[in-house]
């Protein structure tokens, strides 16, 4: 399983997950269809499905155009407001795309229909991956547009917090530096936050994501809306 990280819009990430034996691919949060199809062609893969975390335009606005351009494309999500939705999924439902397995994890709060996607391949030495949309960021979480703090606490501690510790997290926005600056204002003596902020500012995110470094923005914002 190969994950291509694609930076789009102001600070969004969309992803192309490639099943390497078949060269089939799954997109996560296909916000900019033209850019996604450029990567699909470059990688010489066939786009089979889209997994959408939530209905906000900066995560789902490319669905209709992609469905038009790619006949038979499957679009998965948990909210009827998601454009071009063909398959509505539920909590802990499992999907299979060749060797790639996907577990759907329902995390309502940012929106009432937010779904995260946990992916792995049986027998692979590679760490599993979580596509967390606007539920979990590095150093923060999504705004509570359609839910409560209690819901987000359950999302982070009981649902996502129960995943294997080696899981790689692929979030929906780049706001690491902004989040950590806010955290340092709240807990100015927190050494873990200090070290993580130094890591992020030092270009580590560019290495992690392959091409895109940390985003900027308002220092007092703990999270980003979707």
Give yes or no: 58 in active site.
Answer: yes
Give yes or no: 87 in active site.
Answer: no
* Residue of 29, 54, 55, 223 with catalytic role: 54
* Residue of 11, 24, 55, 56 with catalytic role: 56
Taking each helix axis from N to C terminus, what angle separates 191-199 and 176-186, rounded to the nearest 10 degrees? Answer: 160
* Residue of 59, 79, 114, 223 with catalytic role: 59
Helix, strand, or coil here: 164?
coil
Give yes or no: 55 in active site.
Answer: no
Give yes or no: 59 in active site.
Answer: yes
Which among 51, 31, 27 is positioned nearest to 114, based on CA atoms? 51
Give yes or no: 110 in active site.
Answer: yes
* Residue of 11, 79, 110, 114 with catalytic role: 110
The token pair that represents 193 in the structure block: 């936050």
The token pair that represents 7 in the structure block: 């930076």
Question: At 49, phi and psi to the nearest 5?
Answer: -155, 160
Give yes or no: 173 in active site.
Answer: yes
* Residue of 11, 24, 58, 79 with catalytic role: 58
The token pair that represents 51 in the structure block: 């997994």
Integer-rounded Cα Rg, in Å, for the chain is 17
Give yes or no: 54 in active site.
Answer: yes
Q: Helix H segments across 56-186?
A: 57-60, 63-69, 149-154, 176-186
Q: Provide the annotated active-site residues.
A: 54, 56, 58-59, 110, 134, 173
């Amino acid at each position: 399983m190969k994950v291509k990280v694609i930076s789009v819009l102001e600070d969004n990430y969309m992803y192309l997950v490639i099943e390497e034996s078949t060269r089939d691919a799954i997109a996560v949060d296909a916000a900019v269809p033209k850019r996604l199809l450029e990567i699909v062609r470059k990688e010489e893969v066939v786009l089979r499905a889209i997994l959408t975390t939530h209905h906000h335009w900066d995560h789902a606005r490319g669905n209709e155009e992609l469905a038009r351009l790619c006949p038979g494309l499957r679009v998965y999500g948990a909210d009827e407001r998601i454009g071009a939705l063909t398959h509505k999924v539920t909590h802990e439902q499992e999907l299979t795309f060749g060797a790639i397995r996907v577990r759907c994890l329902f995390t309502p709060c940012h929106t009432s229909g937010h779904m995260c996607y946990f992916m792995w391949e049986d027998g692979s030495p590679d760490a599993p991956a979580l596509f967390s949309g606007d539920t979990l960021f590095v150093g923060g979480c999504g705004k509570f547009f359609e839910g409560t703090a209690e819901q987000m606490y359950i999302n982070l501690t009981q649902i996502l917090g129960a995943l294997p510790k080696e899981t790689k997290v692929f979030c929906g926005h780049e706001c690491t530096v902004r989040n950590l600056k806010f955290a340092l204002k709240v807990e100015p003596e927190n050494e873990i936050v200090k070290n993580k902020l130094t890591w992020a500012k030092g270009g580590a995110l560019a290495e992690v994501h392959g091409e895109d470094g940390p985003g900027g923005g308002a220092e007092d914002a703990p999270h980003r809306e979707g």
